[in-house]
Structure 1
Amino acid sequence: MRRKPGGAEPDQAARARAERLPESDAAAQARASTNPVQIGSVLSEEGRRIERPRRERPEVPEGAELVREVNNRFIYQTNNTYFIERPREERFIIGAREVYYEELPRSRQREVVVRPDGTRIVTIRNRWGDVVRRVKVLPDDREIALVYVEDDHYDEVLEWRDPGLDLPPLDLDIPVRDYILDAEWVEDPEDYYTFLDQPPVEQVERTYSLDEVRRSARIRDKVRRIDLDIINFEFGSAQIPESEIGKLEGVAEAMQRLLKENPGETFLIEGHTDAVGAEVANLALSDQRAEAVATALTNVFDIAPENMETQGYGEQYLKVETQEPERENRRVAIRRITPLIAPVASSE
């Protein structure tokens, strides 16, 4: 992240910033496609019913090396960076009335989770297990797109390549406090809603896959971040003490309000650790912390699991640069990634 050097008059600089900063999600996606996205029904394609896929050693994409399995999580190394993957549907199927799987053309699989009220969560994955479509089908058969990868970019998703490499450094022309919200300094819970409701800080070139967003810091940085440094994780632990759960209430209410306005919203819960211990172990621990927060938001505050994605980043992004134990580095963060992964017109 860099800032432009001075030189322009204050009024000119302010006008330039206003022109660059999208005013809405739709404005941020304005350059993504010259034509409106026409999304067909996620259930229209005929599939062949199969048994639940077994969790075996996954097929490793080109450019990635599977280095370790920890607690049913697979840790890869790619471009000198570790990345963690794991079965993500576990939170989705809890309490489901039915779950079934289908095989689709092009080595894809479709998973359908049927909730007690008849709502269906339909997910299509490619051969690597990456999500290329996810839709919430309401009891009246209305489909709400949560994740959408255009066919034109399907091969790019398969490559496991960081799409952020094609972009220049983020040119952030707003105060850091308007880009990163420290929950520790929030006095009015309304601030969570106001902050999460903000559009991306720059244009979105296309809709990205969930896994592209997870793997690319540059793409994630297009949207603002809330640091939930008010949740105190003990050293080496992913458990949220019962006394800490109430601290999630403010951000949970903001998420509930946004979901009432748009059921297609998706929030990314990021887990982080300090730099003490083995890097691979910290990666697994951070992933467990993100899952713990998402689970609490569902169990206590009734945030639907399909509206939250989780990812651990271990010690890669230290908030306080130190190799010593540091509470502020043992944290989770939340971003609203909806405008990165779904066409605005289809999710509203």
Structure 2
Amino acid sequence: MHSQRREVTEGGRTVYYEPDRVIIRDPSGQQYVRGNDLYRFRYGARDIQTQTVGGETRTVVIRPDGSQIVTVVGSDGRLLRRIRRDDRGREIIIIDNSYRDPQAVGGFYVDLPPPVVNMPYDRYIVAADEAPPEVIYETLRAPPVQRIDRRYSLDEIRYSPNVRMQMPSIDVNSINFATGSWEIPPDQAAKLQVIADGLNQAIQANPRAVFLIEGHTDKVGSDVDNLSLSDRRAESAATLLTQQFNVPAENLTSQGYGEQYPKEQIDGPSAINRRVTIRNITPLLNGGQASLPPPPPGTAPPR
């Protein structure tokens, strides 16, 4: 991507533009990547319509069954709303990102203390290659580890680690990315079947459910490269879940974190750190309201 990357300075920030995402480095040294989920929605679409009104861009993806996915983006490229509209015109708001806490730093960073976790570590961070299907299924529908006092915007969840950490997660360490690559080898794609089953069951139980796919890298290469690479890894996993396992694209969102959150504390190549993570962020978006009914004890999604 180096040949397609453009670097500019805007308002004291360094901004790196790539064809399908933007990487921003603040004067404080903090940096993050912002991608575009719309690329994933084009798969299987019958038609795509885009209209800009009053600084907001509304993109409507029309599917063969007549249903529509409406995505509203602000003038800064930030996702504002995502709506599913069925063939009869009935709407479900999946994501409302227009809410912002006035005390949040920069409009999206929330300074919370780390959550208090009173559960076994292997149930808080589940290793996909070791956990039985019923544990993966339960984790995708698990409640927060502590009480949620308010609802958070998608940006607050994406860019505030201690907000995200209030939800258990699944490390998809059954997929091994090669150094510098975001491609999922075909022989490893089948390893997502159990996770896809759990996601589809959870979304069937609650059509408003939202799952965050997180991408990570090891500490090889530059910070900017790794942010871009990790975001592409997250997008690759989300794309595969939709195209191969029919997980609705609109119920998934992806975000890359580069080398910021290593699982193995090592400077250099690490297959463990080149990974994706999945967590249910529905309770964070809706303020802790009950969203996914618990599965029957000891059950796993049908195969």
Counterparts in 2 of 1:22-101, with a 5 A limit? 65-78=13-26, 79-101=28-50
Matched to 1:176, the amino acid is: Y
**How far apart in 2 are the matches of 1:329 and 1:296?**
20
Corresponding residue for residue 292 of structure 1: 236
* Unpaired runs of at least 5, structure 1: 1-56
What TM-score comes out, normalization by structure 1 length?
0.75
**Which one of the candidate residues 254, 265, 270 is aligned to 1:321?**
265
Matched to 1:250, the amino acid is: V
- Asked if 1:168 corresponds to 2:113, the answer is yes
- Asked if 1:272 corresponds to 2:186, the answer is no
- Deviations 1:153-190 (CA, angstroms, capped at 9, x unpaired): 4574997334421x33322222222211011211x212
Change (3 A) 1:203 1:155: closer
Q: Secondary structure at the match of 2:93?
A: strand
Matched to 2:86, the amino acid is: L
Change (3 A) 1:84 1:191: same
How far has the Cα of 1:278 moved from its partner? 1.2
**Which one of the candidate residues 175, 183, 187 is aligned to 1:231?**
175
Change (3 A) 1:292 1:149: closer
Count, aligned residues: 286
Q: Secondary structure at the match of 2:110?
A: helix
- Deviations 1:249-281 (CA, angstroms, capped at 9, x unpaired): 111110111111112111111111110111111
Matched to 1:254, the amino acid is: G
Q: Secondary structure at the match of 1:204?
A: coil
Contact map agreement 1:182 1:226 (CA 8 A) in 2: yes
Counterparts in 2 of 1:75-154, with a 5 A limit? 75-78=23-26, 79-105=28-54, 107-149=55-97, 153-154=99-100
**How far apart in 2 are the matches of 1:207 and 1:98?**
34
**How far apart in 2 are the matches of 1:85 and 1:191?**
31
How far has the Cα of 1:224 moved from its partner? 1.0
How far has the Cα of 1:236 moved from its partner? 1.4
Corresponding residue for residue 127 of structure 2: 182
RMSD: 2.7
What TM-score comes out, normalization by structure 2 length?
0.85
**How far apart in 2 are the matches of 1:209 and 1:110?**
19
How far has the Cα of 1:301 moved from its partner? 0.4
Contact map agreement 1:276 1:323 (CA 8 A) in 2: yes
Contact map agreement 1:128 1:158 (CA 8 A) in 2: no
